[in-house]
Amino acid sequence: MTRGVVNWRTMGVWVVVVAAGGGTRFGAPKQFAPLGTSTVLERSVATAVSVADGVVVVLPTDRVADAPGGVCVTAGGATRSASVRAGLALVPDDVEVVIVHDAARPFATDALYAAVIAAVRAGADAAVPALPIADTVKRIDGVEVVATVPRDDLVVVQTPQAFAAAALRAAHAGGGEGTDDAAMIEAAGGRVVVVAGEHRNFKITVPADLAVAAALLEAT
């Protein structure tokens, strides 16, 4: 379904905003938590709308009516990947680049979207924002440390993640699962590249993260 008036400029880039989670670690669906004068979801959607030709928001089945205006809306599935597929089903077939973004990252900037889009336009199957790991990484077995992992070639990745639409559709065609969509492209043998991530683009996961987000918002 569609909420509000949608005026798509072209059919080049669409964003699927994934917001169907129940917020188990947060204690409630965090995407609807207030952040400044709006909600976490509304902030994420506003940026997506500003950079794309169309936006699909994937929500919990019982919260579809709470979608922001001016977007396409659908209910999510039992897993993150199933929710992405639900959103992808509403993206027109002739779209060239599809971006998947977690609603719980409300500080992603226009510039970050532009960077991942440009990388896909340059020929990658997928592009993900990445940050180097600052902390020492250790592998454990229960409470025992079994190894210290070299971190020189390790990064942590964020969303928005951009994809060549055909590659993303093909990766999801078999109904597989991944912790992010780039992992599914990797499994299919696609080329995934990284762009510089943003430290402010953190994911709200627990209530303390929302307090940090509110402080960042006040400081800007």
pLDDT in tens, 138-188: 999 999 999 999 999 999 999 999 999 999 999 999 899 999 999 999 999
pLDDT, position 129 = 98
Domains along the chain with CATH numbers: 2-219 (3.90.550.10)
pTM for the model stands at 0.92
Residue range 48-57: mean pLDDT, rounded? 96
Q: Are 180 and 159 in contact (CB under 8 A)?
A: yes
pLDDT, position 4 = 40
Nearest to 205 by CA among 30, 44, 47: 30
Q: Are 58 and 86 in contact (CB under 8 A)?
A: yes
pLDDT, position 220 = 77
β-pair type (71-75, 54-59): parallel
Give the separation between CA 68 and CA 58, rounded to whole angstroms.
11
Q: Is the peptide bond before 160 cis (omega within 30 degrees of 0)?
A: yes
Using DSSP's 3-state secondary structure scheme, residue 146 falls into strand
Give the separation between CA 103 and CA 107, rounded to whole angstroms.
10
Give the separation between CA 10 and CA 149, rounded to whole angstroms.
46
Q: And the tokens for 71?
A: 């977007």
CA-based R_g, the chain, Å:
17
Q: How far is CA 10 from CA 13, 23, 50, 99, in A?
A: 8, 34, 13, 15
> 186 Cβ partners below 8 Å, 6+ apart?
192
pLDDT, position 66 = 84
pLDDT, position 24 = 81
pLDDT, position 11 = 56
Residue range 127-133: mean pLDDT, rounded? 97
Nearest to 44 by CA among 98, 92, 113, 96: 113
Residue 50 has pLDDT above 50, yes or no: yes
Give the separation between CA 220 and CA 210, rounded to whole angstroms.
16
Residue range 123-145: mean pLDDT, rounded? 97
